Amino acid sequence: MEKAKFYKVSYQQFEESYLDYDPKASQESIQQIYDELELPKRATRGSAGYDFYTPVDVYLKPGETIKIPTGIRCEMNESWVLMIYPRSGLGFKYRLQLNNTVGVIDSDYFYSDNEGHIFIKMTNDSNEEKNVDVKKGQGIAQGIFMQYGIVEDDDATQVRNGGFGSTTK
pLDDT one digit per residue (tens) for the chain, 169 residues = 678 999 999 999 999 999 999 999 999 999 999 999 999 999 999 999 999 999 999 999 999 999 999 999 999 999 999 999 998 888 888 888 888 889 999 999 999 999 999 999 999 998 889 999 999 999 999 999 999 888 888 877 777 565 555 454 4
Cα 4 from chain centroid (whole Å): 15
Task: Give the fold, CATH level 3, of 5-149.
Answer: Deoxyuridine 5'-Triphosphate Nucleotidohydrolase; Chain A (2.70.40)
pTM summary value = 0.88
Kindly list the distances between the CA atom of residue 85 and the CA atoms of 10, 96, 159, in Å, as whole numbers in the listed order.
24, 10, 26
Can you give the residue ranges of every domain in the chain? 5-149
